[in-house]
Copies of this chain bind each other. A is one copy, B any other.
Amino acid sequence: MEPVTPSEGWGALHLFYRVDRERAEREPGGAKRVLDAVASLEADEHQALCFAVLGHKADFGVMALGPDLARLQAFEQELAAAPLAPSWSYVSLTERSEYTSDEERARQRLYPRLPLKNAICFYPMSKRRDPEANWYALPFEERKQLMEGHGRIGRSYAGRVLQLITGSVGLDDWEWGVTLLADDPAVLKEIVYEMRFDEVSARYADFGPFFTGLLLEPPEALRRVGLAD
| Chain A contacts to B: CB under 8 angstroms | 2, 4, 6-9, 11, 13, 15-16, 18-19, 21, 52, 54-57, 59, 69-70, 72-74, 76-77, 80-81, 86-91, 93, 95, 118-119, 121, 123, 129-134, 136-137, 167-173, 175, 180, 184-189, 191-193, 196-197, 199, 201-203, 205, 207, 209-210, 212, 214, 224-226
Contacts and interface: CB of A to CB of B under 8 A. Distances in A.
A133 B131 contact: yes
18 contacts: A4-B119, A4-B214, A8-B186, A13-B55, A19-B80, A21-B81, A54-B76, A55-B172, A57-B89, A59-B80, A80-B226, A131-B132, A136-B201, A167-B189, A167-B193, A169-B193, A170-B189, A172-B210
Contacts of A123: 170
Contacts of A197: 136
- Quick one: which of A2, A131, A170 has the most chain B CB within 10 A? A170
Contact of A186 (B19, B55, B77, B93): B93
A192 B197 CA distance: 26
A55 B169 contact: no
A221 to B, nearest CB: 11
Contacts of A56: 15-16, 86-89
A173 B211 CA distance: 8
Interface of A: prevailing SS = mixed
B7 A186 contact: yes
- Quick one: which of A77, A121, A180 has the most chain B CB within 10 A? A77
B93 A189 contact: yes
Nearest to A129: B202
Contacts of A4: 118-119, 185, 214
A210 to B, nearest CB: 5
B184 A170 contact: no
